[in-house]
Amino acid sequence: MSTVANVSAAKPKVNGAVFNAPLGTALPTTATETLNAAFAALGYVSDAGVANANSPSTTNVKAWGGDVVLITEDEKPDTFKLTLIEGLNVEVLKTVYGDSKVSGTLESGISIAADAGELEEKSWVVDMLLRGNVAKRIVIPRGKLSNLEEIAYKDNEAIGYGITIACLPDSSGKSHYEYIKATAASSSSATEETGGSGTP
């Protein structure tokens, strides 16, 4: 049976949507538990939101005559693409250039020493709210920036850092996890919609 209430859009949580932390930080295993203090908030993301690409790359094996007789899966890259738009956020700059390449604070002065060195792998969390205040959380145990888009400095748009996070397998071979849970607010909404009894 089709259910309209199961159709949802995704909005960022008010206290932040995208976070990262050093590898080895304790990871959440539910949609609502408090994040470890080591997770740094990366602030606002552009209105394009977060896009996840998780499509397998395949090869068609053909027999003489042209019939496809076998389809093999070559790889299944798992990536997340987003644009960070808080250009004055030190944690954003560390994400883009590397922790050791950024020093200082906005008050004392920020210094960035960009180079060709590899960026650190980090753990990532993306928090969002679905319809009816249902919480959804994406956890990437091992993620590394695989692409940084051209950075534009213009007078009519926010400075944005368009990044792609490549998800690497954890010790269990999983590239990312997703957790969804109704919150107390969503339960209350459901009760109100059904006349206060909690049943249709």
Residue 198 lies in a domain: no
| Chain centroid to CA 127 | 8
Residue 73 lies in a domain: no
Residue 184 belongs to what domain range? Answer: 4-58+83-193
Residue 13 lies in a domain: yes
Residue 100 lies in a domain: yes
- Model confidence pTM above 0.95: no
Residue 77 lies in a domain: no
Q: How many whole angstroms separate alpha carbon 22 and alpha carbon 19?
A: 11
Q: How many whole angstroms separate alpha carbon 52 and alpha carbon 5?
A: 23
Does the pLDDT at position 105 exceed 50? yes
Residue 21 lies in a domain: yes
Q: What is the pLDDT of residue 75?
A: 60
Q: Tell me: the pLDDT tens digits for 54-71?
A: 766 666 778 887 888 777
**What total of structural domains would you count in the chain?**
1
Per-residue pLDDT band for 185 (boundaries 50, 70, 90) equals low
Q: How many whole angstroms separate alpha carbon 97 and alpha carbon 95?
A: 6
Residue 200 lies in a domain: no
Helices (runs of H) and strands (runs of E) counted in the chain: 2, 13
Q: What is the pLDDT of residue 58?
A: 63
Q: How many whole angstroms separate alpha carbon 105 and alpha carbon 66?
A: 63
Using the 8-state DSSP alphabet, how is residue 118 labeled?
A: P
Residue 180 lies in a domain: yes
Does the pLDDT at position 83 exceed 70? yes
